[in-house]
Amino acid sequence: MDQDEVSFGRFRLDLGQRHLVRDGVQIPLGSRALDVLCALALAKGEVVSKDELMTRVWPGLVVDENTIRVHVSALRKALEEGTSGQTHLMTVPGRGYRLVGLKPQLSANGSSPDASSSPAQPDRPSIAVLPFQNMSDDPEQDYFADGMVDEIITGLSRIKWLSVISRNSTFIHKNKPVAIREIASKLGAGYVLEGGVRRSGNRVRITAQLIDTKTDAHLWAEQYDRVLEDVFALQDEITMCVIGAIEPSLRKAEIDRVKRQRPSNLNAYDLVLRSLPLIFAMVPKDAEIAIPLLENAVKLQPDYGAAYAFLGWCYHHRFVRGGMHEEDRATAIQHARAAIAHGSDDATALAVAAHVIIYLAHDTVTAFKLFDRALELSSSNVFALNLNAIALAWMGKAELAIERAEQAIRLSPFDSSNFRSHHARAIACFSRGRYQDAVDAAQNAVDFNPHFGPARAVLAAALLRAGRATEAKAAVRAMLECEPMFTIRAFLVVELEPVVFAPLAEAWRELGWPE
């Protein structure tokens, strides 16, 4: 190799001496891991396939693919920048690996880098959280604004499908008026979160807005007014609110983006995005269209945990609403197990897998461990919260179910997936004999998703027990128009605790719902 050096973020790689240095301190790495890193660096941001890596690093040898994964894993740990977990080593699904954020190669004679170059774009959506402005008169309040950003970066880094630009890269722009597109060009960010903090006495106002750097469109904006008592508790609360709202906003923007792409250009991540609206419809005919998209995704990326999870969910819909065929149930569980094996650090994948396993395998112990793990990974994951809330409600854990459901609604009140949170509240309230509260919650679920038959079923039972029999019968008719195949037997899938299910089933029978 020649004597050139390559830098990326806070790292410098001497290609000749094969030393990796961070902030002037050499990082110890095995010789093979350094060989892999040098091969990626020499590619100058281009993708290097696994076959090319094998040829460059182990010429003339037959090497198992797992050997590369071991060294890539070691490199990722070495290249993590601080607590955000941001890494410069990206997996390109179905193709290989590349280094992101490379600065131009420096020659041995000390020639300068080309200042016009931009970092390579990562192969998943990337976001830069800019330093929040301190809009107070007191400059000492900078610590609060900076701490707020640190917490948000850490929280966003737990979203598996999102690449988060490190704090060290974004904070060089602190107190500098820089255009969003200029920052996006320098940092390689597809999205930017910016905001401000204003403190007056014991009150604080925090504003935040999410911007698409390609279009300058504002995807989301919110303002939070709070009493400042415990600084750290307030930072935690606002962080959860911001992250809970950002994730669905980003997902919607990404789905809109991939809809504009030609199908021939889709990678594994894009295929999953394209399948999501079909999956969330939760009807067999849409699941049929989503299944081949997801199967292609796992062919391109065999360790894609989220793709396996959503495959499991599609087969779950086919089983429950498509005829209760045993092969669909078995296939759903099989894919859910694969999601657990490949998605142990993906909160959404674990929550979906838990949802399938608890209803189709009735393995409540495993399912609740998965829900707990998902919420440990990302306590702001609205999807995990509302799926967990429904499971808790059917298990008779009404208080915790209501708590999780209300947390999801509070974090992201307009998230379309929150019909599940309202549905969970309806089940929990009904099981406690709070029939009018159950009516209100079930009606909210129906308003959020008129095509979700189970919400109409719980609404009908709650109306009956609240003394509104005529409205209850109308709700049953509406449900059967929505899902004519949905019988009480089909609903038995969710019977995790008979003391919860039996009173609902009794009300449905009184209303003439088909057995």
Report the b/e string of 272-302 with b at 16+ CB within 10 A: bbbbbebbebbbbebbeebbebbebbbebbe
How many percent of the chain have pLDDT more than 70? 87
pLDDT value at position 23? 66
Measure the CA dihedral 227/232/235/236, to 10°: -110
Spell out the CATH class of 379-515: mainly alpha
| Fold classified for 261-358 | 1.25.40
- Give the pLDDT confidence score for residue 84 in this predicted structure: 45
| 343 vs 394, more confident | 394
What sign does the CA torsion over 123, 282, 415, 403 have?
Answer: negative
List every span in the chain annotated with CATH 1.10.10.10.
Answer: 5-99
Q: Which of 167-181, 378-392, 424-438 has the highest mean pLDDT?
A: 424-438
The segment(s) of the chain belonging to CATH 3.40.50.10610 are 126-259
In whole angstroms, what is the distance from residue 351 CA to residue 361 CA? 15
Domain 126-259 falls under CATH 2.10.10.90: no
Q: Is the predicted pLDDT of residue 393 greater than 90, yes or no?
A: yes
Residue of 259 and 504 predicted with greater confidence: 504
Average pLDDT over residues 109-118: 40
Q: What pLDDT, on a 0 to 100 scale, did the predictor assign at position 118?
A: 42
Closest CA to 249 of 176, 175, 193: 193
Using CA atoms of 407, 413, 419, 421 in order, give the dihedral in degrees to the nearest 10. Answer: 10
Task: With cut-offs at 50, 70 and 90, classify the pLDDT of residue 64.
Answer: low
Please give the average per-residue pLDDT across 114-126, as a whole number: 50
Of 430 and 78, the structure prediction assigns the larger pLDDT to 430
Closest of 211, 193, 61, 189 to residue 129, by C-alpha: 193
Q: Write down the mean pLDDT value for the chain.
A: 81
Mean pLDDT along residues 178-207 = 81
* CATH class of the 5-99 domain in this structure: mainly alpha
Lowest mean pLDDT among 20-29, 375-384, 431-440: 20-29
Residue 117 confidence (pLDDT): 40
Q: Where are the alpha helices (DSSP H) in 305-357?
A: 305-321, 326-342, 347-356
Residue bearing tokens 């009018």: 436
Q: Is the pLDDT reported for residue 268 higher than 70?
A: yes
Residues paired with residue 203 on neighbouring β-strands, in sequence order: 200, 227
3-class SS letters over 29-85 = CCHHHHHHHHHHHHCCCCCECHHHHHHHHCCCCCCCHHHHHHHHHHHHHHHCEHHHC
Tell me: pLDDT of 122 over 60.
no
Q: Give pLDDT, residue 110.
A: 40
pLDDT above 90 for 486: no
| CATH 1.25.40.10 domain locations along the chain | 261-358, 379-515
